[in-house]
Amino acid sequence: MKSLLIYLKNYKKEAVLAPLFKMLEATFELIVPLVMAAVIDTGIGNGDRTYVIHMCLVLILLGIVGLVSSITAQYFAAKAATGFATELRHAFFAHVQQLSFAQMDTIGTDTLITRMTSDINQAQSGVNMVLRLFLRSPFIVLGAMIMAFTVDAKAAMVFVVTIPLLSVIVFGIMMVTMPMYKKVQSYLDQVLQTTRENLTGARVIRAFHREDQEREQFENRNEQLASAQKFVGRISGLMNPLTYVTINFAIIVLIYVGALRVNSGALTQGAVVALLNYMSQILVELIKLANLIVTVTRAAASGNRVADVLAIDPDMKEEAKMQGTDAGTAQNSGTADAVSGQSALVEFDHVCLTYPGGGDPALQDISFAAYPGQTIGIIGGTGSGKSSLVNLIPRFYDVTGGSVRVHGQDVRTQSMNGLRSRIGMVFQKSELFKGSIEENLRWGNRQAAQQDLEDALMASQAKEFVDSKPGRLSFRIEQSGRNLSGGQKQRLTIARALVRKPEVLILDDSASALDFATDAKLRMAIRQMHHQMTIFIVSQRAASIREADQILVLDEGRLVGSGTHEELLRDNAVYQEIYYSQFPKEEDHAE
């Protein structure tokens, strides 16, 4: 939690003024019992009505000044706490953006959401409470004890015994509950995960009649969270009754001692009332301090969870900035094609990839080269490593062996912005954002001309359905494209990638929702686009990649075949098995 305090650096003034005004308020509050003692001993004791009215006006003045001080302190505390939370969220979000896909897979999306929302809110409440009460409550407690000694030293010994005893109760409960609150937040992660999975997968759950099982799982996790909260709540709840019992027992002792002192003439009645008021102030402040401790304990646990993520060092760093991020910088380096004399645009050199926490490698000893203008088809069974392979090109994951080169330079030594600006990526799952069709297309290129958008829609075979939408490009898309069909979403995501006019276009099984005719038109249109692209097509369909210049056949993370459709159909058993499973009639003809 201490490491997060740097996000208060822009609010140093507020962080100082808030407790100072609270201590000013506390100072006036400590004067009140002395004024009351004077009213009883001097005003009432002597029957001096004017003195009583005068002292009452003093009490009103103390109350007004104290109220103004309190409001001012609350303003500065709220401003500092809100600013702290805002800067922390910005820093947290920016840090998460720097983490690699592998690290985000390890941490988990659900816990990141909880830490950015609930945990930071808890930390904000903690900062607010600390600025308001952390100095005020101890100041009142110690100040009341000191003021009690100025009234009567012997009677004040009750305070000397009571305050350390109360400190043991308060801080003992704090030490016990702090790790428990951290555990409660982890249970909240699980509840959020279950909720998120049920909301995003509602259709699948209903399709397989899993409602009862999912409801049971949610209830179990929710009950686990509730039980943990109740348990730690019971321990925290001991604070108020224990402090009340201790304080009230001290008041009984104080009244007894005060009565004996008044009877002996060593103490006045007003002084006894002042001592009781100081003891009552201690009681009230310790109750506030107890609530503060509970809030700070939860805030510290939440703050530590946020700090844990911020402490993670991104494992994917730019080792050296590429001198110039344009395509021409390293164009002449790399492997040359023996036929055309061109340099390879993308090269895989004995590439291996093992995911964090994974057992067997996802990719093993992959080597090939792709040249400008070529179409590379990638095919293989489920889990063979097709998506893993293409995710290495824009450096979503780092290789664990070998190297991936673009324009002859290792992607790990290039600027990520420069590298990814030259690559258009269409994922397996179509991701669209809430907004107009035009806004979604301009994610590919903010400065794209209107004609570029139209050309991309035409090539992606999306123009027909876009023209049928009211407002065309201004048609509003709901979150995740809920108001579009699967095929429409896929075509729009392809159009978004084409708007960028990339050097490398990666289609990761992005036409799975399209019929064969539309898929064929799409591939033909992309080939005929004015600018030359190297295209990677990942597909389960043999028909989608049969016209590719080079087809890579993957099996269990290994490259088991490379060549044209005719070569592989003649010589490669894995490709034959995939192809003939989809075109059995051709198999019969071949026999």
Task: Give phi and psi for 475, each to the nearest 5.
Answer: -60, 130
Same domain as 357, residue 294: no
Query: Is 70 exceeded by the pLDDT of residue 1?
Result: no
- Note down the domain range covering 98: 2-310
DSSP letter string, 343-362: BPSEEEEEEEE--TT-SS-S
Same domain as 305, residue 346: no
State the CATH number of the domain containing residue 22: 1.20.1560.10
Q: Which runs of E-coded beta strand occur in 492-557? A: 504-508, 534-538, 550-555
Q: Which of 310, 330, 349 is the last residue before a domain boundary?
A: 310
- Whether the Cβ atoms of residue 119 and residue 92 lie closer than 8 Å to each other: no
Q: Is residue 144 part of a domain?
A: yes
Q: How far is CA 339 from CA 336, 342, 343, 344, 407, in A?
A: 9, 8, 11, 12, 18
The enclosing H or E element of 341 equals: none
Q: Which runs of E-coded beta strand occur in 138-187? A: none
Task: Give phi and psi for 119, each to the nearest 5.
Answer: -65, -40
Rounded-to-integer distance, Cα 309 and Cα 293, Å: 24
Q: Is residue 360 part of a domain?
A: yes
How high is the pLDDT of residue 531? Answer: 66
Confidence of residue 337 (pLDDT cuts 50, 70, 90): low
Same domain as 164, residue 69: yes
Q: Is residue 495 part of a domain?
A: no
Q: Given the structure tokens 């806004």, which residue do they identify?
A: 439
Torsion over CA: 340, 343, 349, 352 (sign): negative
Q: Is residue 474 part of a domain?
A: no
Q: Is residue 200 part of a domain?
A: yes
The candidate with the shortest Cα–Cα distance to 552, out of 428, 377, 423, is 377
Same domain as 31, residue 137: yes
Q: Is residue 89 part of a domain?
A: yes
Rounded-to-integer distance, Cα 376 and Cα 378, Å: 7
Region 415-424: mean pLDDT is 84
Q: Given the structure tokens 């799952």, which residue do they identify?
A: 429
Q: Which runs of E-coded beta strand occur in 356-416? A: 363-370, 375-380, 401-406, 409-410
Q: Which of 310, 329, 351 is the last residue before a domain boundary?
A: 310
Determine how many CB atoms are found less than 10 A away from the CB of residue 196: 13
Region 188-194: mean pLDDT is 82
Give the amino acid at 413: T
Same domain as 306, residue 381: no
How high is the pLDDT of residue 328? Answer: 43
Query: Is 50 exceeded by the pLDDT of residue 565?
Result: yes
**Predicted structure pTM score:** 0.67
Burial class (CB in 10 A: 0-12, 13-18, 19+), 26: buried
Q: Is residue 189 part of a domain?
A: yes
Query: Is 50 exceeded by the pLDDT of residue 248?
Result: yes
How high is the pLDDT of residue 180? Answer: 83
**Would you state the structure tokens that stand for residue 62, as one six-digit string?**
């103390």
Region 162-180: mean pLDDT is 80
Same domain as 290, residue 376: no
Averaged confidence pLDDT in the chain = 81
The enclosing H or E element of 587 equals: helix 584-590
Confidence of residue 587 (pLDDT cuts 50, 70, 90): very low
Long-range contacts of 465-469 (CB under 8 A, 24+ apart): 465/491, 466/437, 469/437
Same domain as 349, residue 243: no
Same domain as 371, residue 280: no
**Start-to-end C-alpha separation, the chain:** 72
Same domain as 305, residue 343: no
Rounded-to-integer distance, Cα 74 and Cα 437, Å: 46
Query: Is 50 exceeded by the pLDDT of residue 321?
Result: no
How high is the pLDDT of residue 325? Answer: 42
Q: Helix 157-200 vs helix 269-310: angle between axes, to the nearest 10 degrees?
A: 30
How high is the pLDDT of residue 307? Answer: 87
Same domain as 391, residue 251: no
Pick left, alpha or beta for residue 451 (phi over 0 → left; psi -120 to 50 → alpha; otherwise beta): alpha
Per DSSP, what are the bridge partners of residue 555? Answer: 558
Domain count within the chain? 2
Same domain as 280, residue 240: yes
Q: How far is CA 551 from CA 31, 376, 528, in A?
A: 87, 6, 20
Q: Which of 268, 291, 310 is the last residue before a domain boundary?
A: 310
State the CATH number of the domain containing residue 370: 3.40.50.300
Query: Is 60 exceeded by the pLDDT of residue 372?
Result: yes
How high is the pLDDT of residue 586? Answer: 47
Give the rounded percent of residues in the chain with a pLDDT score beyond 90: 2
The candidate with the shortest Cα–Cα distance to 366, out of 550, 552, 566, is 552
Buried b (16+ CB within 10 A) or exposed e, 94-105: eebeebbebbee
Q: Is residue 325 part of a domain?
A: no
Confidence of residue 282 (pLDDT cuts 50, 70, 90): confident
Q: DSSP 3-state assignment of 152?
A: coil
Task: Give phi and psi for 534, each to the nearest 5.
Answer: -95, 120
pLDDT tens sequence across 470-525: 888 888 888 777 778 877 888 888 888 888 888 888 888 777 667 777 777 877 88
Task: Give phi and psi for 88, each to the nearest 5.
Answer: -65, -40
Same domain as 141, residue 78: yes
